[in-house]
Amino acid sequence: MIKSMTGFGSAESQISSLGKVSVELKSTNHKFLEIVFHLPLGLLALEDKIKKEIESKIKRGRITCAINISESKTQKVFVNKDLLKNYFHEFKSIKKEFKIRDEINIDTLIHLPGVISLEEHRVGKDVIWPQLKPVISKALGGLSKMRQNEGKALYGYLKERGKNLGESIGFISKRFKKAVQDKLKEIQTDEERSSFLKSSDITEEIERLMFHIGNFNKTIAQNLPIGKELDFVAQEMQREANTLAAKSFDAVISGRIVVVKSQIEKIREQVQNVE
């Protein structure tokens, strides 16, 4: 069954040494597979592993992967005492050299660059990945399920459009034969008849359209990434429909071709969302 390219999946879990980790995956339309990451500093080294995990499940679309960590432990304050001493001694030297009477207070010192910081809790990626991978997989499962559910709805819609197209082309084929016979009765000379038949014959276009419609119906039933193929088939159908419209000499056929072109345009809009 076809899959949509739009969807959302999320998961969260408690990971030792990190805290509560939440993963969100959002998917939108795209010609190819593009993955955009929003990762905390501690997980940047795992970007390639996460990318490969997503690529194993998703073949097309723009995927946004956002991971957030809620710290389970209170971060410790780190005071760089060596740097603080250097600042202090330099300030004392400046005071003496330039005969500055102002006192050096603690409020000034602690706001100097690099004096105070929060200790980072660093954990190796080899330790984190085995715990993070199941969370990624669960979020991917939710995303894939939503894409599948939307794909089912898309399949039903496209199948109905394909059925309608087949019926319309069948009607045009029958109507064309009758319209030609009626028109030939009005033409007096063989030369005019020959010219009319040559310029108005749409048999080949009808046959090609029926072929493309059949190919379209077979393709949407496949359980593969077929979005690009469907878009190509829809373009070919549109091209043949335009030729039909240009050759049509019968008002009834012209009216039905307008319906056909409208159906094809709706198909082209929807296949943009097929993986």
Residues 65-92: pLDDT tens digits? 999 988 655 456 778 888 888 988 888 8
1, 224 Cβ separation under 8 angstroms: no
| Contact of 226 with 220, CB cutoff 8 Å | yes
Which comes out higher in pLDDT, residue 272 or 107? 272
Q: Which residues fall within 8 angstroms of residue 151, CB to CB, at 6 or more apart?
A: 1, 2, 3, 4, 274, 275
| Both tokens assigned to 135 | 């969370």
Place of tokens 């009626």: 182
Which tops the pLDDT comparison, 246 or 122? 246
Pair type for strands 33-38 and 116-118: unpaired
Q: What is the DSSP letter of 4?
A: B
User: SS3 breakdown of the chain: % helix, strand, coil, rounded to 5?
Assistant: 60, 15, 20
Does pLDDT of 52 surpass 80? yes
Could you give the domains of the chain? Answer: 7-73+135-147 (3.30.230), 77-118 (no CATH), 148-271 (no CATH)
In 76-174, the DSSP E strands lie at 77-79, 116-118
Write down the pLDDT at residue 117: 73
- The pLDDT score that the predictor gives to residue 115 is 82
Q: What is the C-alpha separation between 237 and 226, in angstroms, rounded?
A: 16
Average pLDDT over residues 23-30: 96
* pLDDT value of residue 89: 87
Q: What is residue 166's predicted lDDT score, i.e. its pLDDT?
A: 95
Q: What are 9's strand-pairing partners?
A: 25
Mean pLDDT over all residues of the chain?
90
pLDDT in tens, 201-258: 899 999 999 999 999 999 999 888 999 999 999 999 999 999 999 988 899 999 999 9
Give kind and range of the element (H or E) at residue 63.
strand 61-71
114: left (phi over 0), alpha (psi -120 to 50) or beta: left
Cα(first)–Cα(last) distance of the chain, in Å?
11
pLDDT at 101: 80
CB 245 within 8 A of CB 261: yes
pLDDT given for residue 188 in this prediction = 79
